[in-house]
Every structure is written in structure tokens, then in C-alpha cells.
Structure 1
Amino acid sequence: MLLNSLFFIFAFLPVVLLIYYLLPAAGRNLFLVAASLVFYAWGDPVYLVLLIFSAVFHYIMGLQIQNAVQDKRHRKMDLIFAAAVDVFLLCFFKYSGPAAGMVNSILHTQIAVRELALPIGLSFYTFKNMSYLFDIYYGRLEAEKKFTDFAAYAVFFPVMTAGPIVRYKDIKEQMKKRRVNALQLGYGAGKFILGLAKKVLLADTLASLYGDISARAGDITVLTAWIGMFAFTMEIYFDFSGYSDMAVGISRMLGFKVKENFNYPYTSKSITEFWRRWHISLGSWFRDYIYIPLGGNRVGMGKHIRNILIVWCLTGMWHGASMNFPVWGIYYGVFLIAEKYLLGSRLEKLPAWMSRIYTMLFVMAGWMLFSHNSLGEAGIYLKRLVGMGASGFADETAWYYLKTNLLIFLLCIPACGPGLYRFVDSRFHNLTVGSAVLYGVLFLLGTACLVYSSYHPFLYLRF
């Protein structure tokens, strides 16, 4: 089951909210566990056992690490064992097939590996549960003794499939006691509707355009290539931030305050700033559990560069097994190193508009590495952007794409910045009739698109 399905919006979510609000506070976490398991089993019943195993395993290991507080060696070995199990499961499902194919192509062997469907949300709920163990190990959190409370966190359905990567230490108190009232419900519903509008009104429309252009990348003009790159740049932002908004909104309706996952990244004036604003929960996860334990920036320049490249190679690999993902990660690692040691002061002296253009050009080029299935395909598309192999600068098809999508392109630009949302938020908090009409119109348009348009799953469900 997905957050943008009609069944979820009109059946599952209303029923869950109704029962949840009618239950006494003591029974709500247990109900959340049951509802989350139904949510997951609806779309991926085969791997439900994997989700349950992850919840039980991390609960037990958390208690074990906590109980070994006086035995540092035992405590460390418990953490290493738990991390090894998590890494094994991730590698088995995400990388075993591609790895075998790579070995076969290099060594001319015939290793047969059955292709396994990637369990929905595996990367997200594994990282979420790993953070729980790391925080216990580093003394930032005490292990949860009540299994129902931890299980409600481990399988929490709004954030299970595509984040944000919520940490238990941030919502532990909310697991015990949280406010559930009409104001929370209203705010959460508004956030959900905005996320739904981002997804179905903007991202899905752009997905169709980019899919058409990328499918014929071997014979397109320079202008068409740039239109496609802009379309995917906007698609992935509105798709992923739309999901995050929906997840945050549902969480709020259930009484949980989950941190935002995006902070208007396309307004950034450097690549460094961009990655502080994009997929914040993943970036902070790698910072706190990989980068800082490696020494962070408290080491010499050589080791600092090493730490950045390790973190960004792992960030790329987290997204997928094909070579374009680690290359995409290293691509950003190189930019972060360059901005730290070479470009930082120069960027600060540039006018804001020039810094933003610089950032967006290289972010957009990076998305071309991300959006293709191989480095070869990405290379072909990048060549078309600069005219190499392109069928001219522009043709009738390029102008057609531009004219028919100009309105949505113009809508995307303000929708990437804070001004529009601050206006909407201010109107919502005033609880005016106008705000109710605005959200009602957005909801009707969003659901109409779900009824009459082709179905587009969230992009980050692949990871």
C-alpha cells in the first residue's frame, strides 16, 4: 500500500485515524503496530517477516548493548554483530545480483544468482533501526524496555517505505505520551494535502515528460535535453519532498512531531548548502554514524578528504547497486572537498544569483548520473546537453515540449522556494475560509489526477 493510492487515502487512513482516536492512549501503540503491519503486508506480504525480524532483532540487541554497559568489549562486539547483520541483509537484497553480474562479465564465469525483488523500504527502516543501536552504544539513549513502544517506532507506517529516517531518541517521549487533538489533525491534514499536490500535480506530470525524452535520448536536440534535465530535477524534488510532507502530515495527525526532511534545497548557494537542505535525515545519519566516528573534520586535510569520499561513496551505494550511484556520490564528494579547500571564499564573494546558478547547474548534471540505469546512458545524455551527438540545437519537438509544459515549469520555480509555503502556512494557521477552500481545491485536484492519470509510484521506493 502506498500513500498516494486512492485506497489508502479514502479507506485505510480514515479507518486507522477513526479507531486510533477512539482508543484509549494505552492501546494506541499496539494498534499502530497492527495497522503498520497491515499497511506493509498489503503491498509486500512476502517480506513482512523481514520487517518483523528487524523490529524484534533490534529490540533485543538494544537491550543487550544496554546491559553490557560495564563490559566495553562485549558491548562493542554486540554493536558490530548487529551492524554486520544489517549490512548483510542490505547487501544480499540490493547488491548480490549486480555483483554476480559484474563478476561474470569480468571473469567470464557463469555464477547464477536469482534476482530478488527489493523489499519495500528496506534501506529506510534498516537505517532507522540501526540509529537506535548506535545511540544506545554512544550513551545518547537508554534502550526501550517496552516492546510495544519500540515496535510502534520500528514499523511506523508513514515513514516506513521512504523516510524520513526518524531516530528513536527524537520521538521516545512521544511514544509514551503525545497530544492528539483537532489542531494536530488539521495541521497534519494540510501537510498531507500539500505533499499529495506536489506528487500528483507536479512530479507525476514531469515524470511523463522526462520519461518520453530520456527514452529517445539517442536522437534529441540540445534544447530537448535541457528541458528533460530540468523536468527530472523538478520531478525528483517534488516526488520525494511530497512523500516526506505526506509522511510528516500523517505522523502529525497521529500526534507525532517528525522533523522535516527538506529545507528548500534548490535555493542553495553552494553544493555544501544543498546537501544540508536535501534529504536531511539521511545526510545527518551519515554525518553522525559514519563521518564523525571516522574523525570528521577534526583530522588532517588528507584524512578529512578520505572521510568525505568514504561517506559520499557509501551515500551513493545506499541508493543502488549500479556503478552510476557510487560515481554520483563521489561526484558530490569532490565538489564538497573543492568548496571546502578551494572555492569557499570565492563563492561567498559572488552575487547570490550567480551562486544559485552555479549550484543548480551542477545539481542538475548530477541528477543525470542518478536518473539513468548505467554510466553509459548517463554519459550519452550529458553529451547531448553540450551538443555532442545531438540532432541540432532545437527542433519542432523541443518547442512543442517547451510550449506545452511552460505553465508547469513556471509553477515549479516558486514552488521550490519558501515564500509560497509561508503564505499558505500563515493562511492555514489563521483558520480562514480561504485556507479551507485552498486545501479543498488542492485535494480535489490531487485525487482527480489519481483517478484519471497513469499511476506513478514514488521514486525513492526503489531505494
Structure 2
Amino acid sequence: MISFSNITFIFRFLPAFLIVFYVTPVKFRTWTLLLGSLIFYLVGSIDSVGNFKMFPALLGAVVVNYLFARAVRNAEGKKKKVFLALIVIFDAVMLITFKLLGQFVDGSLIPIGISFYTFKMISFQADSYNGKIDSKPLFKDVAAYFCMFPQVVSGPIMRFSDYSDNLELIPGASKSSKEEILANIEDGFKYFIAGLAMKVLLADHYAMLWKEIGTIGYESISTPFAWIGAVTYSLQLFFDFWGYSLMSSGIAVMLGFPFVVNFDHPYGSASVSEFYRRWHATLGSWFRDYIYIPMGGSRVGTVRIILNLLVVWLVTGFWHGVTLNFILWGIILFVIIMCERFIVFKLPGVLKTIVGRFNVLVLIPLTWVIFAISDAGMLLNYFKRLFPFFGAGIAVNDNDYIKNLGIYGGLLAVGVVLLIPHVFKFIEKHRKNPLIMICLFVLFWFSVYSLTNSAGNPFMYFAF
């Protein structure tokens, strides 16, 4: 049930929770959100790894962070900084420890969502220290913010100020009418359906093609098929996580919270730098606000800027995983962004645009290959097939790409079309149009049918 693209979640947990949430008296609704989120996490943990080992880690982190936040608010001078440093170190060490245990001891030791709720906790502590959280939040509000089930597993990483500023906007908290509540549920469900379709009808089918490439063997595919594979994995990752983000934000809208934009059509970017401001935007802004800017950001000399960005991208790589490919992925993106900053951005307008688009549409998919393949030897084989003039490997079937384009070409074309920003923006703008609503209705039941006839794939970012 930990997955939103799960029949039990869609037809049991979500509708039951919405009913309980809205029949609960207004002053107790935060407790309802907290309790429902804890049940969601506990049951999901048992379903995922067969035990509840992940649950105490979340509860312990919530309690410790709340107590330290109170200590930070009540302290003065150096004590305040000491308490802040201690809790940030605690959260960081907790994240690093579990990541290492999961990688080198047992994968079931990584609590689901720890990368996301830990970052929420650190941002909460920093914002509390800097006075961005004016009031003294109650435990129920802080705990519900950390644990709220639409975000606890894979984000988005909402700031506490955005959460608390909208507590009074939750339908019922301001005595909203039934019409407003139903309108929020309807609007949120439209986003949920769009995300579900992206996950089930696109990403899961791209996963089948990517798996087929792995089954053949990276050293045995043709060069055209290798490039199709790079595009396929890029689309799989994008629609898997964009789909999750739409579903997550849609559920939040059903509860009366504002829609959180986590993906802002990144493949429409004119540079890799812009791409990562628009890809997983809440994570990017987190790194900017809590690592890059505190180290001096762009207000320092050139050498320090380079060092600051290197640290950010090394941490980004490690946040995704402790294997070498993630660190290499982060370093390569750092190099590309440095080249853009000091070379590409100084080119004449048209040339700058051409190079920037090339970086996004060609280099980004190549970096996703590094992101996808953790084994160094297999990764090298894949790149040798992408660029066969380096030798090594002979395609078992030079026409393998023709066969697979015949099977998956239509789905790949749909994915490429949806990368165009204006296409989705048009659909979003006209989502109340009866024709769009009929299409969403059809997509929902197609997605449900697909789910009932498959084992179901977990969202890719659950692994991070």
C-alpha cells in the first residue's frame, strides 16, 4: 500500500481516509492527518520488507527533531547555534548511517522515505533558527508535517512555512462549504489520474523495454538500440517521478493544500543548469537554500563558487546512493554546469541556445545511463555500444531496434510529445473541459485495468 499506484491504496485507503478526514471535527483534523499518515507508513513498511523496522526510525526522528526545535527556539546566543548544529548533525548522521547500512549490510535497513523526511527535518530546524517560523508550532502540527502521507515516501520536500501557512486553508478549518471541499477533491483527483496514467501506462511500459535491453546484454545490443535505451530510461525516470509528484500533489490538493510544482517541464530548458532548477524543483531549492547559499553561494570569488557547486553535486550524488555511479553522475553534472557557466553562457545568443539545448537533449540522457547502471563494467560496455568506435561487443542482431520500435515506438512518441511544455500546460489549463474530463476518466480505468493485470512496479525514487 506504500505505493499510490496500488489498487488497495486507490480504492480503499484514499477514499476511506478522505471520508474520515472530512467527518472529523475541524480542531482534530491535524491529528487525523497524522494518524492516517502513520498507518499508511506502518502498513507500507510491513508490505515492503515484511516488518516494521522502518517505523521506529521515523517516530524517533520526529520526536527528537521536535524537542531540539523547542530547545533552539528557547536558547540564546551560542547555545542556539550549538543546538542547531547538534540536531543537523544528528539528522545527517542518521541519513548517512542508514544509507550505508542499506548498501553494505541489508537493503531492508533503509527506512522508506528517509532521504525525504530527513531533508524536511533539516529545513525545519534551519528555518526555525533563522526566524522563518514565527509561531511555536504544536507537536501535532510538526509531526503531521514530517509524516504527511502524500509526501513522506518520495517528497515533494514542502517547507514548513508553506505547510503551516495553509493549515487554515484546509477545507473546514475556515468553515469551507461542501462545494469547496468537493471542488478540491475533484481538482486533486484530476492531477492524481494524470500522474497515475504517466506511471502505469508510460513509465511501467518503458521499464519493460529497458529491462529487455538488460536481458539481451549491454555488450550485445546495436548502437541505435543503445541510444533508444538511453532515451527510454530517461523517459521512464521522468514519467515515473513526475507521475508520482502529480499524484502526491493531487492528494494534497484533495486535503486543501496548494499544488506543489515539483517538475516544471525540465526538458524545455535551455541549459543543464536550468534543467535542474526545473527537475525535482523542491530538492533543487533545498540544496540551494541549505547548502549552496550558507556556503556563500555566488556572492564569493570564482574558486569558492566552483568549490560550493562541487560540494552540492557531490552531496546530490551521495543523496541518491552510495555506489560509485551516483558519485560519478554528480561529478559529471558538476563539470557540465561549470562549462556552461564559464564557457557556454558567454557564447553569442543563437550559439548559446543551440549548445544549451544539445546539453539538455543529448547529454542529460547520457548522464541518466550513468545514473541507471551501478556496475562499472556494464556501464563501460553500454557506452562502448553508444559510441562503437571504441570497439568491444558485437550486436547480436543489427536490426534489434527496428523490432522494438515497432512494439514501443508509439509509447515513446507519446512520451516525447508530453515533454513539450505547451502540450501539458494546455491540458492543465482546460482540465475542466468536458472532453478532457472524459479523457481522464478513460485514462483512469485503463490504468486500473493495467494495474490489475500486472505485478506493479514501485516508484523508482522509493530507492532513494
Question: With structure 1 as the length reference, what TM-score do the two structures score?
Answer: 0.92
The equivalences for 1:95-106 within 5 A come to 95-96=100-101, 98=103
1:402-456 deviation line (CA, Å, top 9, x unaligned): 111110111011111222222222322xx34323211110101111111112311
Q: Which moved more, 1:41-50 or 1:392-401?
A: 392-401
Rounded Cα–Cα distance in structure 2 between residues aligned with 1:211 and 1:439: 29
What does the per-residue CA deviation read over 1:85-113, in whole Å, with 9 as the maximum and x for residues that have no partner?
Answer: 11121111112465xx6xxxxxxxxxxx5
**Offset at residue 378 of structure 1 (A):** 1.9
The reply to whether residue 404 of structure 1 matches residue 411 of structure 2 is no
Give the conservation status (yes or no) of the 8 Å contact 2:346–2:352: no
Q: Match of 2:429, as an amino acid?
A: S
Cα displacement (A) at 1:76: 0.9
Q: Structure 1 residue 175: deviation in Å? A: 2.3
Note closer, same or farther for the CA distance 1:57–1:134 as it changes in structure 2 (3 Å cut): same
Matched, 1:48 2:55: yes
Distance (whole Å) between structure 2 residues aligned to residue 239 and residue 302 of structure 1: 37
Confirm whether residue 425 of structure 1 aligns to residue 432 of structure 2: no
Counterpart position of 2:255: 254
Q: 1:354 to 1:16 in 2, by over 3 A?
A: same
Q: How far did 1:354 drift?
A: 5.8
Quick one: distance in 2 between partners of 1:254 and 1:416?
29
Which position in structure 1 is the counterpart of 2:98? Answer: 93
Bigger mean CA offset, 401-410 vs 239-248: 401-410
Q: Match of 1:364?
A: 365
User: In angstroms, what is the RMSD of aligned CA positions?
Assistant: 1.8
Whether 1:63 and 2:70 are equivalent positions in the alignment is yes
1:66–1:143 contact (8 Å) kept in structure 2: no
Q: Measure, in 2, the Cα distance between the counterparts of 1:390 and 1:418.
A: 38
Q: Structure 1, residues 343-389: CA drift from partner, whole Å, max 9, x if none? A: 11227322856642332111011001100123332222112101132
Partner of 1:198: 198
Q: State the alpha-carbon separation in 1 of the partners of residues 361 and 396 from structure 2.
A: 21
Matched with 1:442 is 443
Question: Is the CA contact 2:54–2:109 (under 8 Å) kept in the aligned structure 1?
Answer: no
- In structure 2, relative to structure 1, the CA distance for the partners of 1:47 and 1:75 (3 Å cut) is same
- Where does residue 29 of structure 1 map in the other structure? 30
Percent identity over the alignment?
Answer: 35
The aligned runs of 1:260-409 (5 Å cut-off) are 260-346=261-347, 348-350=349-351, 352=353, 355-387=356-388, 388-392=391-395, 395-409=398-412
Corresponding residue to 2:126 among 126, 134, 140 = 134
Cα gap change, 1:422/1:177 in structure 2, threshold over 3 Å: closer, same or farther?
closer
SS of 1:181's partner is helix
**Structure 2 partner of 1:109:** none
Mapped contact 2:273–2:337 kept (Cα < 8 A): yes
Aligned equivalents of 2:107, 2:59: Cα separation in 1: 23
Deviations 1:183-241 (A, max 9, x none): 21111000000000100000000001001103311211101111111100100000001
Give, as a single letter, the amino acid of the residue that structure 2 aligns with 1:90: L
SS at match of 2:109: coil
The AA in structure 2 aligned to 1:221 is S
Per the alignment, residue 83 of structure 2 pairs with 78
Structure 2 contact 91–121 (Cα < 8 Å) conserved: no
Residue segments in structure 1 that go unaligned for 5+ positions in a row: 102-112
**What is the CA distance between 1:159 and its match in structure 2?**
0.6
- Shift in CA distance, 448/114, structure 1 to aligned 2, threshold 3 Å: closer
Q: Distance in 2 between matches of 1:337 and 1:231?
A: 27
Output the CA distance in 2 between the equivalents of 1:310 and 1:354.
25
Q: Is the 8 A contact 1:41 1:48 kept in 2?
A: yes
Q: Counterpart of 1:136 in structure 2: which amino acid?
A: S
Distance in 2, Cα, partners of 1:82 & 1:92: 15
Aligned partners of 1:222 and 1:394 also within 8 Å: no
Alignment partner, residue 48 of structure 2: none
Runs of 4+ in 1 over 6 A off after TM superposition: none
Between the aligned partners of 1:353 and 1:407, the Cα distance in structure 2 is 28
Distance in 2, matches of 1:359 and 1:326, equals 20
How many residue pairs were aligned?
446
2:163 to 159, 168, 171: 171
